[in-house]
Structure 1
């Protein structure tokens, strides 16, 4: 069995893959040593990620590639045909960035690392990659470095930035969702059996009033009523109402119950820096952050939710309020 220690570096020198002996503070050693630090930090981030297998897979694949990149850095005078990291690897990182940008909610402010443990580790790895890139720039002034190495490190820092934002976004969404579900569970215990029993009767009357208002303003609507658990009690689609409004009306009613507030009040809370930032992407996008959904309140208790969709937001709200008049 090979020993971990070899004593060959006791005099402050080490061997490159291409067999040259150099001092351990050599620019080439500094470069691949810094990449190794970044790889370790990425491993920490990977270990802290839960329930995001796609993120773990991205990190794992890159970690394997970094071993090949370090082999390129540790080899002098590498022929083009022998490059381990090629332009194809760089292109793949660019495609990852593009894909992650589709997931990420845009942020128009400077990021302060530490929103969650996993993203903090990825941000740490990102700064190490930036340092590794600077080491390679310095190395290239005196020695040959394969061109894809610099490009790869540059793109990798961008991958880690966007990945960190996506990871913290998903963790925040999960945290908010859990809080909403706990709040909803607590609210359910406050409702009396009489309140719950009256929901269906009230739903029929609300739908009738809301439909009359929709007819008055000349806009065909979909009207939905859910109980305190967010389950559908009754739904009505007027002739000519948009098909998309069927799910939107139900989701508005659900959101109003889940968050215990009208849906038009949700919008300011889901913007960057506010308590429910990112919530509208949770639960398959079921949470709605524009008007048309209202909680149904009886004797001070939330017993259900009313959602209306089919017109402009203001029209949806007018029709919903008409239905609530019976509550």
Structure 2
């Protein structure tokens, strides 16, 4: 498992996610941020939109800031079935917060958060699947 997250590792993660997306016929963007939520690397496939790029960065940023995968965050705070316990994202005061599937923490073997990845361009399930590809690649570095 990787013990650092720099440009070399971020590129490998993003490249793996975009290759997996291409294999599935998806057009996506993918990003990796550091432990502070600052962008290390972002790539967008030909035909991918600027919104995909922004969303991939925001998902990774959100995962790091909340110290949890965005799928868990969405289910815990933002799903409609929560009734009165549900929150509006504006309530938290950061326009980059994006509590939708696809932001996945990247941790060291000791459990230290080194950063996160995010991707955008598919359905929530497809985004999450592509994100898990990147997380596996990071775990194997």
TM-score, normalised via structure 1 length: 0.38
> Which structure would you say has the larger RCO, counting Cα contacts within 8 Å and 6 or more residues apart?
2
Whether 1:295 aligns to 2:105 is yes
2:6 to 199, 204, 217: 199
Paired with 1:252 and 1:235, the residues of 2 have a C-alpha distance of: 12
The secondary structure found in structure 2 opposite 1:248 is helix
Structure-2 separation of matches of 1:248 and 1:199? 21
Q: Do the aligned partners of 1:224 and 1:234 also contact (CA within 8 Å) in 2?
A: yes
| 1:103-122 paired onto structure 2 within 5 Å | none
The SS at the match of 1:325 is helix
Deviations 1:180-221 (A, max 9, x none): xxxxxxxxxxxxxx944x332211110111011000111111
1:274-289 to 2 correspondence within 5 Å? Answer: 274=85, 277-278=87-88, 280-281=89-90, 282-289=92-99
For the aligned residue pairs, the C-alpha RMSD in angstroms reads: 1.8
Displacement of 1:273: 4.1
Aligned to 1:307: 118
Gaps of 5+ in 2: none
Aligned to 1:214: 21
Rg comparison, structure with higher value: 1
Q: Displacement of 1:305 after TM fit?
A: 0.7
1:245 and 2:55 equivalent? no
Q: Distance in 1 between matches of 2:11 and 2:44?
A: 13
Greater strand percent: which structure?
2
Matches of 1:269 and 1:224 in 2, distance apart?
24
Secondary structure of 1:295's match? strand
8 Å contact from structure 1 (residues 221, 237) kept in 2: yes
Rounded to whole Å, the distance in 2 between the matches of 1:253 and 1:292 is 8
Q: 1:289 Cα deviation (Å)?
A: 1.6
1:284: Cα distance to partner? Answer: 4.1
Q: How many pairs were matched up?
A: 131
Q: Deviations over 1:114-157 (max 9, x none)?
A: xxxxxxxxxxxxxxxxxxxxxxxxxxxxxxxxxxxxxxxxxxxx
Structure 1: stretches of 5+ with no match in the other structure? 1-193
Distance in 1, Cα, partners of 2:95 & 2:75: 17
Quick check: which one's helix share is greater?
A: 1
